[in-house]
Amino acid sequence: MKPEHRPYRTVDGNVRIGSVIYGIGAEIADPDGWIWALTEAMDGTRTVAQIAAEVTGRHPVVEPGTVRSAIGELRAAGFVEDAAAPLPPGLGDRDPVRHARGVALLRWMDLSPRASPWQAQLRLRRARVVVLGVGGTGGAAAQLLVASGVGRLHVVDPDVVELSNLNRQMLYRETDIGSLKAEAAVAALRSLNSDVTVTGEPREIRGPADLARLLGYGEGVPYDLLVLGADRPPEIRRWANRVCLDLKLPWVEGGYRGPLITAGVHVPGDGPCWECLRAGEAERRDLRLAPGQDEEAASPRMPWNPASAVTAALSGTLVAHAALALLSGVPPMEPGFRYGINLMALGDPVLQRHPRRPACPACGPNRNRTRDLN
């Protein structure tokens, strides 16, 4: 049994597995007590045959084949790992030490049977991510991805570090003021984890064509995921949606509107796109806009974007969690949604899911392709 899923026996004799966490835990009726004997025997010190012998020795009415099929069911449910599985090739020498705690969390959340608990970490190690905008959201997300062992990270930002950034952009130090963010971010991220290949460039995205070029349009996309941390120009999410749909590149974006902090998780071809979600959410919120009026009218837009270290770190964390889930498969995440937190209503978690819209101008049959946007 995975140590994080260690079972216990309830007062009425049932076996509870997987920690009492919604989404993971399960309860098994065990009137004869042999399931409990089975889970006790599965402590990583015995072979399957030895486990079957142990259980049938204590409960002679149980057949060895029944024990084997119960082990198979526990394994299929994600509660079991092979304690003798070797470290898969492809990980670095320092990874077993550096990522011991992270892999323990991954196997806790992973309910798919795996040959090794290190498989999800190996997927992160092989992942290539581009982070566009390393300010509050993107900078925090980049730190989390590098600490988590993503293999390659490319950061893009045209700005220089200013004193006014330092209330929330914790990737930077006072000594970075006046430096290009792309350069300061690369240095900070490399010093955090030198096993990650970190690169950067001070590049400005002025339109969808710029973005398409950055993402390798026409040349083969060298990334597995785009993390969009930039919120300027205001159209950048729309551009990212169109370009990523065309390139079939998964992407995650995040940000804040005051105390409302959200991240959107988008995989082209899997669920609604960013524009579908946005239109669905505008309907749900019943903004009562006049015909032709953009939903931005309902939200104050100012030259500055009010933010604190807390809102920026939360935003970056939501983005990084989604990115890591898409890249590693743990925990499973069905894309095409926004999730988040409203600091003014902590009891009301944000979860926006809307169906794909057949007439969507971005992902519908009449959509504009990237080449038309150039």
Tell whether residue 279 is a contact of Zn ion (CB under 5 A): no
Q: Phi and psi of 313, rounded to 5°?
A: -65, -40
Tell whether residue 243 is a contact of Zn ion (CB under 5 A): no
Complex with Zn ion: residue 79 or 274, whichever CB lies closer:
274
Q: How far is the CB of 357 from Zn ion (least distance, A)?
A: 6
Tell whether residue 131 is a contact of Zn ion (CB under 5 A): no
Complex with Zn ion: residue 51 or 362, whichever CB lies closer:
362
Complex with Zn ion: residue 103 or 360, whichever CB lies closer:
360
Q: How far is the CB of 364 from Zn ion (least distance, A)?
A: 6
163 token code pair: 């004193």
Q: Phi and psi of 84, rounded to 5°?
A: -100, 5
Among the listed ranges 73-81, 265-273, 327-335, 336-344, the one in contact with Zn ion (CB under 5 A) is 265-273
Q: Which of 30, 157, 231, 275 binds Zn ion (CB under 5 A)?
A: 275
Complex with Zn ion: residue 189 or 247, whichever CB lies closer:
247
Complex with Zn ion: residue 135 or 336, whichever CB lies closer:
336
CA distances 204 to 70, 133, 159, 178, Å, are 57, 9, 8, 17
323 closest CA partner among 131, 104, 168, 167 = 131
Q: How far is the CB of 363 from Zn ion (least distance, A)?
A: 3
Q: How far is the CB of 358 from Zn ion (least distance, A)?
A: 9
Q: How far is the CB of 166 from Zn ion (least distance, A)?
A: 38
Residue 44 DSSP symbol: S
Q: Residue 182, exposed/middle/buried by CB under 10 A (0-12, 13-18, 19+)?
A: buried
Distance separating alpha carbons of residues 19 and 240, to the nearest angstrom: 39
- Packed helices 48-58 and 34-41: angle between N→C axes, nearest 10 degrees: 150
Tell whether residue 276 is a contact of Zn ion (CB under 5 A): yes
256 token code pair: 């804040």
253 token code pair: 């974006």
Which single residue brings its beta carbon nearest to Zn ion? 360
Site string for Zn ion, 345-374 (x = CB under 5 A): ---------------x-xx-----------
Q: Where are the alpha helices (DSSP H) in 160-235?
A: 181-192, 208-214
Complex with Zn ion: residue 200 or 268, whichever CB lies closer:
268
Complex with Zn ion: residue 80 or 228, whichever CB lies closer:
228
Complex with Zn ion: residue 156 or 362, whichever CB lies closer:
362
Q: How far is the CB of 255 from Zn ion (least distance, A)?
A: 20
Distance separating alpha carbons of residues 324 and 303, to the nearest angstrom: 32
Among the listed ranges 24-32, 50-58, 162-170, 272-280, the one in contact with Zn ion (CB under 5 A) is 272-280
Look-up of token digits 């320092």: 94
Number of residues this chain uses to bind Zn ion (CB under 5 A): 6
Among the listed ranges 197-205, 255-263, 271-279, 311-319, the one in contact with Zn ion (CB under 5 A) is 271-279
Distance separating alpha carbons of residues 216 and 127, to the nearest angstrom: 16
Q: How far is the CB of 349 from Zn ion (least distance, A)?
A: 24
Q: Specify the 3-state DSSP secondary structure of 283.
A: helix
CA distances 179 to 64, 68, 172, 221, 267, Å, are 68, 62, 10, 29, 34
Q: How far is the CB of 263 from Zn ion (least distance, A)?
A: 18
Distance separating alpha carbons of residues 278 and 156, to the nearest angstrom: 26
Q: Phi and psi of 86, rounded to 5°?
A: -75, 160
327 token code pair: 């890249």
Complex with Zn ion: residue 106 or 273, whichever CB lies closer:
273
Tell whether residue 273 is a contact of Zn ion (CB under 5 A): yes
Complex with Zn ion: residue 81 or 246, whichever CB lies closer:
246
**Interface with Zn ion (CB under 5 A):** 273, 275-276, 360, 362-363
